[in-house]
Structure 1
Amino acid sequence: MALLLVGLVLFIGIHSIRLFAPEWRQFMIEQLGSKNWKLMHAAVAFIGLMTTIMGYGYARYSAEWLWFPPVWTRHVAALLVLVAFFYMIVAAMPYSKTKSRIGVPVVVGVKLWAFAHLISNGTTADVVLFGSFLAWAVTNFVISKRRMRSEEVVYQAPDFKFDLLAVVLSLIAYYIVAFHLHAWLIGVAPFA
C-alpha cells in the first residue's frame, strides 16, 4: 500500500499545484522557464502514474474487502468509463461544444472514471486509489469552475464536428484500453 500512496502523492500532487499554489507555480515557471517546468511536471507525473499502477498492482493482492459489489455495478462502470473517455478526449478538442459548456471536461472524465471503479470494486486498495482520484477531481472541478468564472473564460465553439470526432476517438480508445491494455497494465481484463 505504501508504493500506491507514494504514487498518488506524486501524481495527484503535481496536478494540484495549479489549484493550491498558483503563485508558487508561476514563480517556478519564471525560474526554470516554461519548457523546463513542463518537462519536470511531465516527469513527475509519469513517475507518479507508473508508481501508482505498480503500487495498486501490489496492494490489490493484500487488500481487505470492504464490500462485495453486485454484478450490475460492473455494467454501470463500463458505461460510465466509456462516457469518461469521451470527456477526456473532448478536452483535447480545440472548439468543442461540450468543452465550451463544461470548461474542464478532463476533470469530469476523471470523476466518472474514479466513481465507476469505486462502485464496481470493493477493496481497501480500490478505495484508496479511486477515492483519492474522485476527491481530487471534485475539488479540482469546484476550484477550476470558480476560477474560470472569476476570469470570465470563454471557449469558442463553432460546431459539433469536434464533439463527433471525440465520440469516434473515445470508442476506439475505449476498445483498445478495455480489451487490450487494461489486462496488460493492470492485470484485470474488464470483459473477461
Structure 2
Amino acid sequence: MEILVLGLILFLGTHSARIVAEDGRKRAIARWGEGAWKGLYSVLSLLGFALIVWGFARARQQPVVLWAPPAGLKHLNALFTLLAFILLAATYLPRNQIKARLHHPMVLGVMLWALGHLLATATLADALLFAAFLLWAALSWRAARQRDRALATVYPPGRLAATLATLLVGVLAWVAFAFWLHAAWIGVAPFARTL
C-alpha cells in the first residue's frame, strides 16, 4: 500500500502545482525555462504513474475488502465511465460544444470516472486510489474555473459536427476499453458478472 500512496503523492502532487502553487510554478518556469519545467514535470508524473500501477497491482494481491457494492452501482459506474470517455474526447477534439460549454471537460471526466469507481469497487486500495483522484479533480476544476474568471477567458463556440464527432469518438473509445482493453490491461472485465 505504501507504494500506491507514494505514487499518488508524486503523480497528483505534480498535477497539483496549478491548484496550490500557481505563482511558484510561474517562478520556476521563469527561472528554469519551460522545457526544463516540462521535463521535470513529465519525469515525476511518469514515475508517480508507474508507482501507482505497481502499488495498486501489489495491493490487489492481498485485498482488504471494505464492503460489497450492489450490482446497480456497477451499472452506474459504466454510465459514469461512458460520460468520462466522452468528456475526454471533448478535451482534444476542437470546436465541440461540450468543451465550449464546460471549458474543462477532462477534470470533469476524471471526477465521474473516480466517483463511479469509488462507488462500484470494494477494497481499501480502490477507495484510496479513486478518492484521491476524485479529490484532485474537484480541486483542479475549482482552480481552473477561478483562473478562467481572473483572466476573463473566452472559449470559442462549438459546432454541431464537431460535437457529434466527439460523441462518436467517446462512445467508441468507451466500448473498446470497457469490453476489451480494461480486461487486458487491468485484469478486470467490467461486464463479466453484471450482464
Shorter-chain TM-score bucket reads over 0.9
> Alignment identity in percent?
36
What count of residue pairs does the alignment treat as equivalent?
A: 192
In 2, Cα distance between equivalents of 1:32 and 1:167: 40
Aligned to 2:27: 27
Secondary structure at 2:157 match in 1:
coil
Secondary structure at 1:175 match in 2:
helix
- Which digits, 9 at most, give the CA deviation of each residue in 1:39-59, with x for residues without a partner? 322222222122112211111
Secondary structure at 1:13 match in 2:
helix
In 2, Cα distance between equivalents of 1:104 and 1:158: 14
- Residue 75 of structure 1 deviates from its aligned partner by 1.0
In 2, Cα distance between equivalents of 1:69 and 1:160: 39
| Residue type of the alignment partner of 2:62 | S
Aligned to 1:175: 175
| Residue type of the alignment partner of 1:148 | D
Aligned to 2:164: 164
Secondary structure at 1:91 match in 2:
helix
In 2, Cα distance between equivalents of 1:166 and 1:49: 27
Aligned to 2:121: 121
- Which digits, 9 at most, give the CA deviation of each residue in 1:13-48, with x for residues without a partner? 111001111111112212232223223222222221
Quick check: 1:138 aligned with 2:138?
yes
Query: Does 131-140 or 144-153 show the bigger shift?
Result: 144-153
In 1, Cα distance between equivalents of 2:66 and 2:168: 37
Quick check: 1:87 aligned with 2:87?
yes
- Residue 98 of structure 1 deviates from its aligned partner by 1.3
Aligned to 1:7: 7
- Which digits, 9 at most, give the CA deviation of each residue in 1:79-121, with x for residues without a partner? 1101001111101123222112111110100000000101100
- Residue 166 of structure 1 deviates from its aligned partner by 1.3
- Residue 135 of structure 1 deviates from its aligned partner by 0.8
| Stretches of 4+ aligned residues off by more than 3 angstroms | none
Cα RMSD (Å) of the superposition? 1.4
CA contact (8 A) 2:114 2:134 kept: yes
Secondary structure at 1:67 match in 2:
coil
CA contact (8 A) 1:53 1:186 kept: no
| Residue type of the alignment partner of 1:16 | S
| Residue type of the alignment partner of 1:21 | A
| Residue type of the alignment partner of 1:100 | A
Structure 1 unmatched runs, 5+:
none
Secondary structure at 1:31 match in 2:
helix
